[in-house]
Structure formats: C-alpha cells, structure tokens
Amino acid sequence: MEEEFQSQYGPRWSDQRVGRLLGALVCAVVALLLALIVVVFIQGWPSFAHNGLAWFGPGGNVDEQLNVISQSAETGAGYVYTFHAWPLIWSTILIAGGSVILSLGAALFISVFLVEFAPTWMARILAPVVRFLASVPSVIYGLLGVLVLVPFIGNHLISESQKASVAGVISLTGYSLMAAVVVLTIMVAPLMVSIFTDALSSVKPGWLEGSLALGVNRWRTIWKIGVRAARPAIVAGTVLACARAIGESVMLAMLSGSTAFAPNPIDGLIFVFEPSRPLAPTIVKSSDQLSSPPAKATLFAIAAFLLFSAAIFSLTGWAARRSMNKYLAR
C-alpha cells in the first residue's frame, strides 16, 4: 500500500529517509551507552563479588586498603579485594549534597532576580557572564581554591586549638570539606542559574500578567506562578548539577584534602574543616595502578557506583517532573 505512493521523482532526502537515518543514530548512541554500562559493571564485578554489601559499609582505612589491593598483584599470594568505601561515599554525599543544596537556594534567588527584578542592561550583561562561569574548566577553580581559599581557611578560620584538638587523628591544613563545598558550589551554581533563568523567562507571560492583574505583587507572582511553572526545569537543572557534582574529580582532588577520612558532624562544626576524599577523585588518584587487576576491578567498581547514582538521579528527576507536569500539560 505504502509502496504505491512512493514518489519516483521527488527530493532524495525524503522525510522517511531522514527519519531512518536519525533513528539509526539514536540507536547507536543508546547501544554505546549500554555497552559502556555493561563494560564498567563487568570490570568492577570482582570487587563487588568479594566484598558483598560490605563494599558500601565502613571499616578500616580505605587508603591502606587501596595500597594492599594494588600491591597484591605482585606478591603472588593471590589478589586481595577487601575494600570498604563508606568514607569515600560519605565524603561524596557531604560535598556534592552540600554544594547542590547551597547552589539550589542561591541559583533560585539569583535567577528570580535576573528575570524579574534586574534592570535590562544588568540582565543582558549577567546572562553571558553566568554562561561563561558555567563553562570555566574545573582545574582553574581548583587552582584558585588552592591559591586563595585553602590558605585563607587554614590560616584564618581554623584556630590553633582546633588543630590541636584533632592532632592525633588528622591534620587540619585548610584542605577541607569547606573548601571543596564552597568551590563546588561556585562551579555548580552558574549551571543552575543559566538553566533556571531560561526556564523562568519562558514561563507563559499570560500567567504572570494574569496574576499581576489580580493585584498580586511581582515578588509573589514570580515566586508562586513563575517558579511553580518552571519546576520541571528546576528539577532537571538540579539533577544535572547533582551529576556534575558527584562526577567532579580534578578540582576535588586538589581541594578536598585527598585523605580517606569520614568527617563526622557529631564532632561539632569542626567537621567542615576536616579533609576527606570523594569517590571520583579516588579514581583519578589511583589511576596509575590500573595495571594491577584487583586495583582495576576496585576502581571500576567505584565507577559503576557513580554511574548507578547518576542513573538514580535521572530517574528520580524524571518521576518528579512527571508528577509536576500533570498541571502544566494541556
């Protein structure tokens, strides 16, 4: 039936051909992604298999465990896989979570200001600035952090008595949770601002005008109608920011203190000055040991965990957007 209508003299790039070509491209991309996930999980499997659920739990010094793992390839006494990643996971949660929460709040207010209250000239200057900030390579932020923020925290914020109080356990130098969170927030917030401003300025003008015409002031209007209508994009931006925050490695390797230590909030505010190391910088730091099979499996297991977390973020975001779209869809 369809064949009878095929034009013989029409343009070569018929819609069907373009459709098939793009479809094939999409399939290739999806296949690549699946292959990537499968490879990472297969490579990391020995580490998970040996440790079981204890992989995610606490126990022992992770840095020592990593050393033993990578050296076990040469001793001939058999591979050692024992690895308890909790301090790394906890550090990731603290740093990525803290900076995403901080930047979510900051980005919301900044973008509301930019869209609704800033004079036109200011918004016109700030929009490209924000976009540029979002695209600055993270090494530069890392360098600035090492040169400016870390000495400041080490010399001015941490008191000598605080340093003395934990001297037996860990040394407080300024390479800390705080440095990592502050710089990561500065990195992530522009990304969110640029997504939020786009979302807020594409809220249907009729909704905002309708609210203003009912005697609701501009602040309440942008907050209750604008931000509400932009919620799906806000969720999408936050998911993107989470993914970037857990994946950030170079800057965090420079600033987090690079010590497998789990800062404990129960110790009081001093925990923000304590060093740690998230998952992604651990891969960077140990990447020279990939020739050792057990170390390779351990690093791939970390990668698999990061991939899995990113997938969970995306799924959560998708579910949240779905429930929000109920009222937005026509």
The site for another protein (CB under 8 A) is made up of 1-2, 5, 204, 206-207, 209-217, 220, 224-225, 228-229, 326-330
- For residue 143, count other CB atoms closer than 10 A to its CB: 15
What is the closest distance, in whole angstroms, from the C-beta atom of residue 224 to another protein in the complex? 7
Q: Which secondary structure element, helix H or strand E, spans residue 32, and what is its range?
A: helix 15-51
What is the closest distance, in whole angstroms, from the C-beta atom of residue 125 to another protein in the complex? 18
Residue 214 three-state SS: coil
For residue 84, what are its two tokens? 């308890």
Q: Quick one: how far is CA 125 from the chain centroid?
A: 27
Q: Which residues pair with 276 in a beta bridge?
A: 257
Do 195 and 300 contact (CB within 8 A), yes or no? no
Q: Which is nearer to another protein, 156 or 326 (CB)?
A: 326
Q: Which is nearer to another protein, 216 or 240 (CB)?
A: 216
Q: Which is nearer to another protein, 163 or 218 (CB)?
A: 218
> What is the rounded (10 degree) CA torsion for 263, 267, 272, 276?
-10
What is the closest distance, in whole angstroms, from the C-beta atom of residue 7 to another protein in the complex? 9
- Angle, helices 177-201 vs 120-134, to 10°: value is 130
Q: Which is nearer to another protein, 214 or 266 (CB)?
A: 214
- Between the CA of residue 177 and those of 17, 39, 59, 62, what are the distances in Å? 54, 32, 21, 18
What is the closest distance, in whole angstroms, from the C-beta atom of residue 225 to another protein in the complex? 6
What is the closest distance, in whole angstroms, from the C-beta atom of residue 284 to another protein in the complex? 44
- For the chain, strand residue ranges (E) read none
Q: Which is nearer to another protein, 227 or 301 (CB)?
A: 227
Query: What's the chain's Rg over C-alpha atoms?
Result: 25
Q: Which is nearer to another protein, 61 or 323 (CB)?
A: 323
What is the closest distance, in whole angstroms, from the C-beta atom of residue 16 to another protein in the complex? 10
The span from the CA of 216 to the CA of 2, in Å, is: 57
The span from the CA of 121 to the CA of 36, in Å, is: 46
Q: Which is nearer to another protein, 5 or 266 (CB)?
A: 5
What is the closest distance, in whole angstroms, from the C-beta atom of residue 218 to another protein in the complex? 9
The span from the CA of 182 to the CA of 9, in Å, is: 63
* DSSP code at position 159: -
Do 326 and 234 contact (CB within 8 A), yes or no? no
What is the closest distance, in whole angstroms, from the C-beta atom of residue 204 to another protein in the complex? 7
Q: Which is nearer to another protein, 216 or 310 (CB)?
A: 216
